[in-house]
Structure 1
């Protein structure tokens, strides 16, 4: 489908994606650092606390209202309100707050994720950090960030040895014991490893600040916007086995083909 989209349709998809992020921003900021209550949706990956707040729900409702007006023919996959089938062959994949644990802790590393996808994967994605005011977007010919420092083109970092690399992930334990051991094989070779980034790690990868993001136990709404942004910026985002990862699971996002291959070799067998 992506090869048959008209210029007008591509422009409308971009405008709609930006409108979705615009709609979610005030809903997330309304409750940020207010001591908002959270519910536990049940054990997340590894049995972890998996919170949800009214800010998550309100932001997704606001985005769905935009889609009902602008793109009623498209499907929706959202973290909080599930799946709505469409007729166009396009699906909007929404994570109203990726990193709710960070959100309720007051850290500004959570984000609003928006992607529009066809059967082959994401066409366009946005990683929006409302509190900082940064928006990273990529796909359909775009790869840019807007924020306090202005607007800049996104470009991932050039190749360098794994021994000089910076790696980001969210949880130190990363997933199962086997997945953790595989991650450590890569992390032990790197210069620097940082934790707790959620979706903001992929934004930093797209901006050329870091070399790798490695995660596991992910859902489609966790990965589709980051995959779009990272690949538009010149990076590579696949499963740990090199296959497409837009369905979730294990994600290896890399600044370039060289470091992607080096990391994948160490992850092999997990």
Structure 2
């Protein structure tokens, strides 16, 4: 199996993991639809691709505007006639204590990470069901499996994705549609720089974990073979992945570890 001539839609494609996915899949001969809020940034990403740029279409969108996503989906389907892979990669993070986080920030994080992702998936599902084929990939996080300080809304949004997409997976087996939840550990992206403070302002600081994290290109090289195999949950990262297994088998020990850990 390969991605050659497959139609792939990537959200959050203007930077980080989404940008790395765009380069890697273009090189592998996929037909791409790349999306984010920043059209100019998407144009720059397209220009840097090594593959056939005529096979790359740009559709700018804002995941916070759920009502616009059915229309964006119609545009995407019109580009190449169908979608083989949807990479739900767009999202936003948060860095603030619960007591310091406004409800507006809680709602915004949930709107982008959860409701936007759900709305886009629901919009694309009928076409995949009609073709009896498709693969939906969701970028979650290790925070989708356990929580730490300063990430309450972010972790909640990722936990919600796991619940919703686990249910969806059960509903689409009969339609030959795969659902993969991807849980990255620390990846060297701007996620903490762009995270929201409790008042909605930009955090503007690179987290220590991200600073020492895996390069997005390396992450992508590890991810794509697992996607082709149809893995249902994919964990990629460093030592921080141990938290997933501690949560599952030794939750009290994980709590003790986290209490004594520096969180940025």
TM over 0.5: no
Higher strand share: 1
Say which structure, 1 or 2, has more relative contact order (CA 8 Å, 6+ apart). Answer: 2
Higher helix share: 2
Using the size of structure 1 for normalisation, the TM-score is 0.32
Using the size of structure 2 for normalisation, the TM-score is 0.32
